[in-house]
Amino acid sequence: MLNSLLALAQQPRIAPTEGDFWFPPQASSFASKIDSDYYFIYWVSAFFVLVIAGVLVLFTLKYHSKKNPKAERTSTHNTPLELAWSILPGIVLLYMFVLGFEGYTDLRTPPSNAVNVDVTAQKWAWTFTYPNGVVHDELHVEKDQPIQLTLSSVDVLHSFWVAAFRTKMDAVPGRYTKLWFTPTMTGEFWAQCTEYCGTNHSNMRAKVVVHEPGGLAKWLAVEGDPHGGGRTPAQAGEKIYKIQGCAACHTLDGSKLTGPSFKGLFGRQEQMLDGSTITADENYIRESILNPQAKIVSGYGPVSAMPTFQGRVKDNDIAALIAFLRTVK
């Protein structure tokens, strides 16, 4: 009984299913500090909001014109009183600043033993590149191991947020930004995009999985390499299709997203923007991936929304993608 409960508790789950009334669970080393800052402001605010409500209600009841038909002429100013209620809240506010300052410095100072993972944002998918070169669409990390993410974007602004970790950072085209955290709880969480980036902004999510210490290497070996794990090229291609974010724009079922569907693409005659027709063969697909602006499918111009994958997919990845596209009938 106890064992099965424990097993249940260890089941990977998508946060937040717990936490308290206000917060998702505390799954990183900053979470408790940030939550306590929040609650400090919260109680100060609650105090003022309730006192003000109390005074408003009390005065309206007590000095209602029916009860108190003539207003009393009290003094119209009282400098010590006014200074008091300017300066006292001021002190509380300064304390809030200090809290925020401490927390923020912490959030922006990664420890030296942090493991770096590169994160590429594009409309509307996240791609993670691990230190050993593995590329994947999920972020896998280990409990208690500090992680540093180096964010970049290939198109517009995006922002990487894991609510359970209480940290977020924008991905800005043309520069690298950094973000770090130490997960303190195993399980599955969502990373969400919080900087508006267009049509599928609200579905630009990535799964974040926190393993027990030592669990990451195993996962990287089996799942991390699309070509490994005994996969056929077509299976590898399918994996790459998901990992590299092609799925954000190209469906397999014939429906249209930002890009044309891959259904039945291979070998099809495609009408181009400039009026010519082209057979979708290996070379064309390769060119579409590496240089999307070269030939644009009619109806998707004048500029292709597709970013180039030059430098992001390797030759064997392209081969696998082509093998996969052959199977999408």
Partner 1 sequence: MSSTTATHAPPQAGVNYLNARRGLLSWVFTLDHKRIGIMYLVGVMGAFLLGGVFALKLRTELLTVGKTIMDADTYNQAFTLHGAVMVFLFIIPGIPAALGNFCLPLMLGAKDVAFPRLNLMSFHLWMFGAIFFVIVLLTGGLDTGWTFYTPYSTTTTTSVIWAVMGAFILGFSSIFTGLNFIVTIHKMRPPGMTFFKMPLFLWGLYATALIQILATPVLGITLLLLAIERAFKLGIFDATLGGDPVLFQHFFWFYSHPAVYIMILPAFAVISELIAVHSRKEIFGYKFIGLSSVAIAVIGFVVWGHHMFVSGQSQMASIVFSFLTFFVAIPSAIKVFNWLATLYKGSIRINTPMLYALGFIWLFTIGGVTGLFLSTMSTDVHLHDTYFVVAHFHYVMVAGTLWGFLGGLHHWWPKITGKMYHDGVGMFASITAFIGFNLTFFPQFIMGTRGMPRRYYDYLEEFQFLHVLSTVGAYVLAVGLFMVLFLLIHSLMKGKKAPDNPWGAASLEWQTATPPITENFHETPKAGNPYAVYDFEYDPQTGDYKRVAFSDATH
Residue 143 sits in the site that holds ligand CUA (CB under 6 A): no
Q: Which amino acid is present at 100?
A: G
| 295, 207 Cβ separation under 8 angstroms | no
- Select the binding partner of residue 270 from ligand HEA, ligand HEC, partner 1, none (C-beta < 5 to 8 A, by kind): ligand HEC
45 or 283: CB nearest ligand HEA: 45
Of the pair 1, 87, the CB lying nearest partner 1 is at 87
Pick one of 147, 191, 204, 322: the residue that binds ligand CUA (CB under 6 A): 204
Q: Is 48 near ligand HEA (CB under 6 A)?
A: yes
Should residue 44 be labelled a site residue for ligand HEA when binding is judged by CB under 6 A? yes
Give residue 198's region: left, alpha or beta (phi > 0; psi -120 to 50): left
Is residue 124 reached through a cis peptide bond, with omega within 30 degrees of 0 on the bond before it?
Answer: yes
Cβ 101 vs Cβ 226: under 8 Å: no
The answer to the question of residue 295 lying near ligand CUA (CB under 6 A) is no
User: In angstroms, rounded to a whole number, what is the distance separating the alpha carbons of residues 51 and 85?
Assistant: 14
Q: Say how many Å lie between the first and final Cα of the chain, rounded.
A: 49
Q: Does residue 246 touch ligand HEC according to CB under 6 A?
A: yes
Kindly tell me which residue out of 10, 32, 36, 45 binds ligand HEA, with binding defined by CB under 6 A.
45
How much is the CA Rg of the chain, to the nearest whole Å? 28
The DSSP bridge partners found for residue 167 are: 162
The residue whose two tokens read 């064992």 is 3
Dist. CA 130–CA 139, nearest whole Å: 9
**Site for ligand HEC contains 126 (CB under 6 A):** no
Query: Strand 158-162 and strand 167-171: pairing?
Result: antiparallel
Q: How far apart are CA 112 and CA 149, in angstroms?
A: 13
As given in the structure block, the two tokens for residue 243 are: 């990992």
| Shortest spacing between CB 183 and ligand HEA, in angstroms | 24
Give the residue with the Cβ less far from partner 1, 41 or 115.
41
Q: From the list 195, 216, 297, 320, which residue makes contact with partner 1 (rule: CB under 8 A)?
A: 195
**Is 154 among the residues that bind ligand HEC (CB under 6 A)?**
no
Footprint on this chain of ligand HEA (rule: CB under 6 A):
44-45, 48, 89, 92-93
Footprint on this chain of ligand HEC (rule: CB under 6 A):
122-123, 244-246, 248-250, 258-260, 265, 270, 280, 285, 288-289, 292, 296-297, 300, 304-306, 309, 313, 321
Footprint on this chain of ligand CUA (rule: CB under 6 A):
124, 158, 193, 195-197, 201, 204
